[in-house]
Amino acid sequence: MGRRADLSAIAESLLANTGDIAEVITYRSFTGIVEDVAAGTSTGTFTDIADIKAIFVAFDSRQIDGAAIRSQDEMALIPAKNIADVTPGLDDLIVRGTDTWEVVRVWSDPALALWKIQVRRP
């Protein structure tokens, strides 16, 4: 197993063993727009990846600038292996219970083992 695979396994194991800290979410990956010319409407289409574990962390007050990072924004930590068929993007959504959060920014570690996703309530 290479180092990238090792780090991916570690990230997944950490989330699997966090007990009640991790939340089960649905990751909604944006796939495109469907146009209804007759009705004059367009609708976003998504592919859902359900039952993913994620940890949500509030930003430190020093990081909050009111523009790029707002006070209610959070960081979702998701092992890349859990959404292996998806590269997170800015049109994606995360569903936490009954709340839907918009993806604002996306980072990964150098080994691409863990996605760090800034989310915001619309």
pLDDT value of residue 110: 87
Q: Residue 106 pLDDT > 90, yes or no?
A: yes
pLDDT value of residue 26: 97
- Number of separate domains in the chain: 1
Task: Show the domain range for 103.
Answer: 3-120
Alpha helices in 1-122 (DSSP H): 3-16
pLDDT value of residue 4: 60
Separation between Cα atoms, residue 42 and residue 54, nearest integer Å: 31
pLDDT band at 121 (very low <50, low <70, confident <90, very high): very high
Torsion of CA 28, 30, 36, 41, to 10 degrees: 80
Residue 60: give its domain's CATH number. 2.40.10.270
Q: Please give the model's pTM, rounded to 2 decimal places.
A: 0.80
